[in-house]
């Protein structure tokens, strides 16, 4: 029998997201050559250049941050959407298109082929109604509508054979008694470790019984215990355990299983109503779902997860990665790569994961929020009437320069022509009163340029009446930015930051809504998104902390805190991003590098503010 193969990765919300068909073909080609090798995703998709898939541990590894995510190999019928190359997508806030999870895509295509006028996704755990006549998706709660589309793409790869019982490990796993070699012991233990991580994420999704009390089913969860040479590596734990601290340990062993029944609400179960079993070396661990409607979808199968929590065995070296996307005793990228290399060499390794960062303080009553001493008010707003300041370019350039009669024998670093020659912008840019051969010297720093070059540079900037020397970055006038309209609030809360036990805390709250870009932005007339707002930031309530706040307020008024661009975190374009002035967004820890204690932060942010033309001398003025 022919089967369609779809490779998927687990995102931070516990959802399996499909790789594109081209990427899946690439993974399958590598898998044929070496079932325990590595796949460099950047070879087929430039946007995935930081990512590598380790086929032995079935994890996606990001080289620049060290982030590791589980991957799986899923199977569908050739007549399903991935087998035909059909992709269903919905339009997101910035006007681009996002593909549905593969299981939902298969469901939508099945209903579309049967010429159903609409499709209700409630039974899949999503409160959306698909209307095929208007090609729209409607949120049944908010009534918000989004467009959807059906497009044709490359069909996903085909393989011969029946659907394997285990879908998240390479083909060729042993049956019967496990091999006792170091490599097989390693693979078996890594499998259990991966299951432990995924089980923790599953518990977050399915652990509660909130939702529709009349639609509960039964979830049969495996409790797994591995032993090797008399040492317990995986202790049995309840499937409802809520722990977030997982230890990934490698050291091997035989497996035994017992089952425990847990209530499961269909309202809490996301998009996979049919979930088959996971086969292991010593038995069949069954995961059964009752009371779920599968909408007659052919070939949609998912894998079950063990709920074991790892205990580090003696003699296995630990790589303490405090946080998989930030700083720690071992850099996460180095630790992740070390883990992969040690696995390939057949050596045991353990990656430990610490608790999540403490982003916010305990709940605070409004009456406990006090004004910051020495600062008037508790909020600032940027309105549209503040956004435009038209200045004549010639007047701005003449204001900050003086003419030079005796020209030095050096280059103009803007046009790279000699100062004794005419500006490189001659014939390209014309301004009355500014001849191409005129040269000016900036008043503070003394650097010299063609006046026409300075006019061209000004016209290419924000046109706010300020000028910045391209050589030494000295700012002339008051520099302003392109921050969209929004609101800034600030107040004192009765809690202290790590490293400042004797001071209360200044909390800053930024809130910027999504909107339409104007002429000063990268894509005028196009929508921009505003993710993660309101954003909460923290300063110690001491003399230096208040000084920083005053300067941040000044930077906000000058529209320098945020800008519109491409997010370095998500890669999303046309979205609100930070503008080179760092903020502390982590209240009670420093696992991400954006928290406390950080004894150098206040001095560093003062330097960053000064580089934007917001210095301590402005406070005196």
Instruction: Convert the pLDDT of each residue in 525-559 to its tens digit.
Output: 999 999 889 999 999 999 999 999 999 999 999 99
Between CA 418 and CA 33 the distance in angstroms is: 59
Token pair, residue 282, equals 């010593």
* H/E stretch holding 284: strand 283-285
Question: Average pLDDT by consecutive 10-residue portion of the chain (621 residues)?
Answer: 90 87 93 85 88 89 82 92 93 88 93 91 83 91 89 90 46 40 43 50 50 38 32 33 36 34 33 34 34 32 34 45 44 59 55 65 90 90 56 85 87 89 82 83 91 87 83 87 94 95 96 92 93 94 96 94 86 90 92 88 93 84 64
433: left (phi over 0), alpha (psi -120 to 50) or beta: left
pLDDT tens figures, 384-413:
544 445 578 888 888 899 988 888 888 998
Place of tokens 């709250």: 509
DSSP string, 518-566: -TTSSSTTSEEB-TTPSEEEEEESSHHHHHHHHHHHHHHHTT-SEEEE-
DSSP H helical segments within 38-178, as ranges?
Answer: 81-84, 102-113
At what angle are helices 393-400 and 451-459 packed, to 10 degrees? 130
Torsion sign, CA atoms 378, 381, 386, 387: positive
pLDDT in the model for residue 620: 72
Give the count of beta carbons closer than 10 Å to the beta carbon of residue 559: 23
295: left (phi over 0), alpha (psi -120 to 50) or beta: left
pLDDT in the model for residue 80: 93
DSSP string, 62-82: ETTT--EEEEEEEEE-TTSHH
Torsion sign, CA atoms 396, 402, 405, 406: negative
Q: Name every residue whose Cβ is closer than 8 Å to that of residue 32 and which is 6 or more positions away in sequence.
A: none
Instruction: Report yes or no on whether pTM surpasses 0.75.
Output: no
């Amino acid at each position: 029998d022919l089967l369609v193969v779809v490779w998927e990765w687990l995102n931070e919300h516990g959802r399996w997201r499909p790789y594109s068909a081209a990427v899946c073909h690439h993974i399958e080609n590598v898998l044929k050559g070496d079932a325990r090798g590595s796949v460099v995703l950047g070879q087929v998709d430039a946007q995935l250049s930081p990512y590598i898939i380790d086929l032995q541990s079935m994890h996606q590894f990001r080289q620049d941050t060290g982030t590791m995510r589980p991957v799986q190999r899923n199977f569908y019928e050739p007549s399903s959407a991935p087998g035909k190359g059909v992709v269903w997508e919905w339009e997101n806030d910035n006007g681009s298109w996002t593909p549905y999870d593969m299981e939902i895509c298969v469901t939508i295509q099945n209903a579309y082929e049967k010429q159903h006028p609409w499709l209700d996704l409630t039974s899949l755990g999503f409160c959306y109604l698909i209307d095929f006549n208007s090609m729209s998706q409607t949120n049944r709660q908010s009534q918000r509508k989004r467009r959807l589309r059906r497009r044709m793409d490359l069909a996903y790869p085909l393989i011969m054979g029946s659907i394997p019982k285990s879908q998240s490990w390479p083909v060729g796993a042993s049956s019967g008694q496990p091999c006792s070699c170091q490599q097989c012991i390693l693979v078996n233990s890594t499998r259990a470790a991966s299951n432990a991580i995924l089980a923790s994420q599953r518990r977050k999704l399915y652990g509660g019984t909130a939702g529709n009390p009349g639609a509960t089913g039964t979830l049969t969860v495996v409790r797994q215990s591995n032993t090797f040479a008399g040492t317990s590596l995986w202790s049995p734990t309840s499937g409802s355990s809520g722990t977030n601290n997982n230890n990934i340990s490698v050291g091997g062993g035989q497996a035994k299983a017992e089952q425990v029944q847990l209530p499961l609400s269909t309202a809490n179960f996301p998009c996979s109503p049919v979930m088959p079993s996971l086969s292991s070396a010593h038995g069949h661990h069954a995961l059964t779902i009752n009371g779920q409607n599968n909408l007659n979808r052919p070939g949609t199968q998912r894998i079950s997860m063990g709920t074991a929590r790892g205990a580090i065995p003696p003699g296995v070296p630990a790589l303490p990665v405090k946080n998989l996307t930030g700083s720690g005793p071992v850099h996460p990228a180095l630790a992740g790569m070390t883990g992969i290399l040690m696995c390939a060499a057949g050596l045991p390794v353990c990656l430990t994961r610490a608790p999540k960062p403490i982003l916010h303080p305990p709940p605070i009553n409004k009456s406990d929020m006090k004004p910051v001493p020495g600062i008037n008010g508790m909020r600032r707003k940027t309105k549209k009437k503040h956004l435009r300041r038209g200045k004549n370019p010639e007047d701005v350039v003449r204001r900050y320069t003086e003419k030079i009669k005796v020209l030095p024998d050096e280059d103009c670093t803007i046009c790279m022509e000699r100062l004794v020659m005419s500006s490189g912008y001659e014939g390209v840019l014309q301004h009355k009163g500014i001849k191409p051969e005129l040269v000016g010297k900036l008043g503070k720093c003394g650097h010299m340029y063609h006046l026409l070059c300075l006019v061209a540079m000004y016209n290419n900037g924000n046109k706010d009446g300020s000028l910045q020397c391209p050589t030494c970055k000295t700012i002339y006038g008051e520099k302003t930015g392109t921050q969209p309209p929004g609101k800034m609030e600030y107040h004192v809360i009765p809690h202290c930051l790590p490293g400042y036990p004797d001071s209360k805390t200044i909390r800053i709250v930024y809130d910027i809504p999504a909107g339409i870009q104007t002429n000063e932005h990268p894509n005028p007339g196009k929508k921009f998104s505003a993710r993660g707002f309101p954003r909460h930031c923290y300063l110690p309530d001491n003399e230096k902390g208040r000084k920083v706040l005053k300067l941040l307020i000044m930077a906000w008024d000058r529209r320098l805190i945020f800008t519109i661009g491409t997010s370095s975190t998500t890669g999303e374009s046309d979205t609100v991003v930070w503008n080179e002035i760092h903020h502390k967004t982590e209240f009670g820890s420093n696992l991400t590098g954006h928290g406390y204690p950080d004894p150098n932060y206040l001095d560093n942010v003062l330097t960053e503010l000064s580089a934007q033309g917001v210095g301590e001398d402005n406070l005196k003025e």
